[in-house]
Structure 1
Amino acid sequence: MDAELTRRHWQGHDYDGDFHMYDGKLPIVATGMKHLQEHGPAGAVVRRFGRPHHQTLIEAIGNPRREAYDARKQAEYAARRREHQQEVRCIAAQHRAEREARRPVCVGCGTRFTDERWKAIEPAGWGARWETHPHLCENCKQRAITTER
């Protein structure tokens, strides 16, 4: 039998029982005029060595179980990625909420400090200018300075 003599050229290797890996192998297919006349060239007229039934040419040279395996793995990866992104968004939201909870409030008017004002009252090192009214927002600070003069 021709298929047995050429087995090492076309037989795939089992991959975890999910599909056969055909890397480095040749898909050897055969058909007959009788099948071509009955079903036409687009019909299930081709027999691939190692497969039990006739297929279309595209099916015979393809590896549908591997394609299904790859699609399943891609879907799993996409699901894990979406899950991870959701976790990252939740952590970022939690960090933003914690930061906002730490944001100083003006003792004069009760408004929360802007990012710029918050940064201005933070200690910046030995050479930094000393903030005269660290518990007041910018507007209340300006009023306090004007009142002091």
Structure 2
Amino acid sequence: MHSSLRERVSLRNPAHFLALGFGSGLAPKMPGTFGSLAALPLIFLCAHYLSFSAYLAFTLIASVVGIWVCGKTAEDMGVHDDSSIVWDEVAGMLIAMLAVPFTFTNVIIAFALFRFFDILKPWPISVLDKNLHGGLGIMLDDIAAGAATMGVMHLLFYVEWI
């Protein structure tokens, strides 16, 4: 992130703090990857201490709130989707691990799949990325990448590969 953009956001601002993935989005290289990693402790807590219904509700709230948080932070920065905005990755990873046991192997596979879908943006994720703007545009492609990852994870369970 350019220094002038850094001056427009503050980790003391709750919206910016969340949008920047608790600060992980400020990593100088691969902020999306660091944002995805920052989601893991949150996923661990949700998977171990919440019922499935509560995890789902939390994930839905994180996704909906993320639309405003990411949109507001992008507006404050004056940039549509700066790479430092990574709450979309946090929400995407929460979705990716829905109803998936939190094991080392599952986390590694889900993380790799999510990054694959998020970076390469295959159809229809690419359509969402190109055609939606604002907070919804920032969030929805990662929500779709998380859903695609969750689908593959559940398919792998179904065929008993993991």
Greater helix fraction, Structure 1 or Structure 2: 2
- Assess same fold via TM > 0.5: no
TM-score, scaled to structure 1: 0.25
Q: Which has the larger radius of gyration?
A: 1
Of structures 1 and 2, the one with the larger relative CO (CA 8 A, separation 6+) is: 2
